[in-house]
Amino acid sequence: MSGVLLYNHGGCENRGCEAIARSTAALFAKHAGMDCTLASGQPDFDRGACIPHVKSVISSKISPRSVQRIINSIGFRLGQPREMEVARTYSPVIRAGKGSDVCLSIGGDTYCYGRQEHLLVINRRLRRAGKPIVLWGCSINPEVIGGEALTDLRQYDLIVARETITEQALKEAGLPVCRWCDPAFTMEPVETALPQGWKPGATVGLNVSPLILNSAKDSGAAMEAFLALVEHIIKTSEDAVALLPHVTWAHDNDVDALKKIKAKFEGEPRVLMVDSTLGAAQFKFIVSSMKALVTARTHASVAAYSTGVPTLVIGYSVKARGIARDIFGDEAGHLIPVQELSGADELIAAYNALIARADEEREFLKKRMPEYTAGAEEIVRRITALTKR
């Protein structure tokens, strides 16, 4: 095996994860002539995604019925070191990495979600094997850069931050970091049929996620605010509202939240649901056809920004804040922290402001994107140079 290993990938039912894998594989094929192997938490689903330039999809973990699982069970009873158990569990990733030219950890905001024991062990094993490892397209809350996380981050030969908040924090920690946009900005959309009831030039997208509702001060009040926004759009305009499910993981499924909105407006033909089985590139085409987008998922906003669609993010993360800041110079007016969402009036006012500046923002994004996404060839060259050490 050779080429690029993409690991720490949760699975393509998260269209943001898919967009990172898809765009990264395309970048290395175009600028380095290298194919990728994808180590996935959902290998069966991801094989069906048929991502170009991904030559194989492997499971990140050993099978529950494998001999290694039995060995792990026996070892646990005998008091084997925890690191040996983790290394055996993730042996498919470690084995694939040892046979690759360079290894990219592509779970962009993994370090925002608590202890990452598996990465510490995987990275340690790949370092021992002399393999260059890169943390790719990441966002990290500055307050978590310490302790075990910092120990792990020091193992990377290069960290590519996707926004300046993370870049600055990593620089202050003395880590080898550079900045480039989230690779999903470069993903090409794939044309697909627009949903029935779509109004060309007059369809507003709305994405709501369980994650964002759980991050709000009052999840019930947050949902009421989104319902009030849809009602406002229907009552004050002729626009349609397209409900966009960007993540469909069983444990974090946008469809669950969006179905509640759809049910509230049952019988209203201008409220429509986008097919949740579409892939990331098809979603990007649908987003590119929208008049505007209000979204909780950051990668839905990436699809919008990169295709010139005016966007309001209901955010909670460093990546949402950092990306908006880097594009516009200031996230104010472009992002509402969900923790600060006070209710329907605030959301509707922010939406009205978005529509008022929509033409200006559309033109700004079209001019801004070429400069913002420049440097793809250079960043790939810098990573592939690590293989020649």
Q: Give the pLDDT score at 44.
A: 95
Is residue 380 located within the same domain as residue 366? no
Question: Could you tell me the CATH number of the domain that includes residue 272?
Answer: 3.40.50.2000
Cβ proximity of 102 and 70 under 8 Å: no
The one-letter code for the residue type at 77 is R
Q: Report if residue 191 sits inside a domain.
A: no
On whether residue 190 sits in a domain, the answer given is: no
In percent, how much of the chain has pLDDT > 90? 85
Q: Can you give the pLDDT at residue 284? A: 98
Q: Are residues 216 and 79 in the same domain?
A: no
Residue 13: per-residue pLDDT:
96
Which residue range is the domain that position 47 belongs to?
Answer: 4-181+373-388
Q: With bands split at pLDDT 50, 70 and 90, how would you rate the model's confidence at 72?
A: low
Same domain, 155 and 266: no
Is 273 part of any domain? yes
Q: How far is CA 223 from CA 116, 214, 261, 275, in A?
A: 31, 10, 9, 21
Residue written as tokens 């393509």?
12
Q: Is residue 188 assigned to a domain?
A: no
**Cβ atoms within 10 A of the Cβ of 366, count?**
11
Neighbours of 182 (CB within 10 A): 29
Same domain, residue pair 231 and 148: no
Coil, strand or helix: which one is 12?
coil
**Same domain flag for 222 and 300:** yes
pLDDT bracket for residue 73 (50, 70, 90): low
The band of 113, judged by pLDDT with boundaries at 50, 70 and 90, is confident
* Cα 157 to Cα 313: distance, rounded to the nearest angstrom: 33
* pLDDT tops 60 at residue 294: yes
pLDDT band at 173, cuts 50/70/90?
very high
User: Domain total for the chain?
Assistant: 2
pLDDT at 66: 56
The CATH number of residue 120's host domain is 3.40.50
Are 343 and 383 within one domain?
A: no
Give me the helices (H) in the chain, please: 15-32, 43-49, 67-77, 82-89, 91-98, 117-128, 147-153, 164-172, 210-215, 219-236, 254-264, 280-288, 298-305, 318-328, 344-356, 358-372, 376-384
